[in-house]
C-alpha cells in the first residue's frame, strides 16, 4: 500500500480532488491531511471524506519535532503540499529527500517566492497582462518555489479574463494534472 500525506492550509479543493481520484484505488491511501489552520475548510472536507485531519501549531512546526514525528510514524511514500502556505523547515526536507512536492498556481520561475500565493499570484498575472499562465508541480527544497520542476501545464489568459476567471482556469489545470502526477511518482 502506498501512503500519501497531504498538507493544506485553506479550502482543500485539491485535497478533495486527489482523494476522489484515488478513492477506487486499493493500492494508494491518503494516510492523513496535516493543517496549520484549525478552522480551515479542508478539515470539514476531510470529515466528509473520512480522512484523518491533524492540526499542528505553526510555532511547534518550527521549534519542535511534532510534525517530523507524525511523518516518521506514517512513513509516507509521498508528501504533497496542496495549498499549504508555510515554508517547510529544512529538517523535514532533509528527512524526506525527493519525497515532498508542491503545486504552485503559476508558471515558475515567474510569480514565485514569498507572498506569491493564492489571488496575489493571479492579480500579478492580470496586472502584467500575461497571455498565459498555468501550474507548476515541483519538488520542495529549502527555498520557496525553487525545487526541481516535475510538470508544468499552461492555459491562455485573455484581456477580458478577471482574476477570478484566471483562478478558475488554474484550478481546472490543478484538478486535471495534480492527481496524475502524484500517481506517476508513486509508481514511477
Ligand atoms: C491552489 O491554487 C494551489 O496551487 C495553491 O493554493 C491553492 C489551493 O487551493 N498553492 P485549494 O485549497 O486546494 O482549493
Q: Contact at 8 Å (CB) between 73 and 40? A: no
Amino acid 141: pLDDT: 87
CA of 116 to the centre of ligand 1 (A): 12
H/E run at residue 94: helix 90-95
CA of 167 to the centre of ligand 1 (A): 9
H/E run at residue 170: helix 163-187
Pocket perturbation via mutation, ligand 1, pick of 171, 176, 178, 179 by most ligand atoms within 8 A of CB: 171
- Atom number, ligand 1, closest to the C-alpha of residue 118: 6
> Total domain count for the chain?
1
Amino acid 83: pLDDT: 95
> Alpha-carbon distance 4 to 29, whole Å?
6
Decide if pLDDT at 109 tops 90: yes
Please give the radius of gyration of the chain, using alpha carbons only, rounded to the nearest integer: 16
What confidence tens digit (pLDDT) does each residue in 29-76 have? 999 999 999 999 999 999 999 999 999 999 999 999 999 999 999 999
How many Cα atoms occupy the beta-carbon half-sphere of 10 within 13 Å?
A: 12
Cβ < 6 A, ligand 1 pocket: 8, 10-14, 82-83, 103-105, 117-118, 170-171, 174
Could you tell me the residue range of the domain that residue 30 belongs to?
2-187
Neighbours of 164 (CB within 10 A): 11
H/E run at residue 151: strand 149-156
Mean pLDDT of 153-177: 98
What confidence tens digit (pLDDT) does each residue in 70-100 have? 999 999 999 999 999 999 999 999 999 999 9
The three-point CA angle 167-53-5 to 5° equals: 75
Decide if pLDDT at 188 tops 80: no
Using CA positions, which residue lies closest to atom 9 of ligand 1? 83
> Alpha-carbon distance 148 to 105, whole Å?
16
What confidence tens digit (pLDDT) does each residue in 110-137 have? 999 888 999 999 999 999 999 999 999 9
Q: Contact at 8 Å (CB) between 128 and 166? A: no
Pocket perturbation via mutation, ligand 1, pick of 105, 121, 175 by most ligand atoms within 8 A of CB: 105
Pocket perturbation via mutation, ligand 1, pick of 7, 83, 115 by most ligand atoms within 8 A of CB: 83
Could you list the active site residues?
Answer: 104
Amino acid 103: pLDDT: 97
Sheet holding 78-81, edge to edge: 53-55, 28-35, 2-7, 78-81, 100-104, 132-139, 149-156
pLDDT band at 142 (very low <50, low <70, confident <90, very high): confident
Q: Among positive and negative, which fits the CA dihedral 33, 38, 41, 45?
A: positive
CATH number at residue 124: 3.40.50.170
Amino acid at each position: 500500500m502506498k501512503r500519501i500525506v497531504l498538507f493544506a492550509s485553506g479550502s482543500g479543493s485539491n485535497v478533495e480532488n486527489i482523494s476522489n481520484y484515488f478513492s477506487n484505488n486499493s493500492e494508494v491511501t491518503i494516510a492523513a491531511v496535516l493543517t496549520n489552520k484549525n478552522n480551515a475548510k479542508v478539515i470539514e472536507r476531510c470529515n466528509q471524506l473520512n480522512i484523518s485531519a491533524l492540526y499542528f501549531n505553526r510555532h511547534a512546526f518550527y521549534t519542535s519535532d511534532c510534525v517530523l514525528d507524525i511523518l516518521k510514524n506514517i512513513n509516507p511514500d509521498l508528501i504533497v503540499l496542496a495549498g499549504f502556505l508555510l515554508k517547510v523547515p529544512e529538517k523535514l526536507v532533509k528527512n524526506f529527500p525527493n519525497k515532498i512536492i508542491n503545486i504552485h498556481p503559476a508558471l515558475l520561475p515567474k510569480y514565485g517566492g514569498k507572498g506569491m500565493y493564492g489571488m496575489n499570484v493571479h492579480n500579478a498575472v492580470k496586472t502584467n497582462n500575461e497571455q498565459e499562465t498555468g501550474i507548476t508541480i515541483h519538488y520542495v527544497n529549502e527555498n520557496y518555489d525553487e525545487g526541481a520542476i516535475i510538470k508544468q501545464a499552461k492555459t491562455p489568459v485573455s484581456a477580458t479574463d478577471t482574476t477570478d476567471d484566471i483562478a478558475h482556469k488554474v484550478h481546472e489545470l490543478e484538478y486535471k494534472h495534480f492527481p496524475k502526477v502524484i500517481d506517476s511518482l508513486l509508481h514511477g
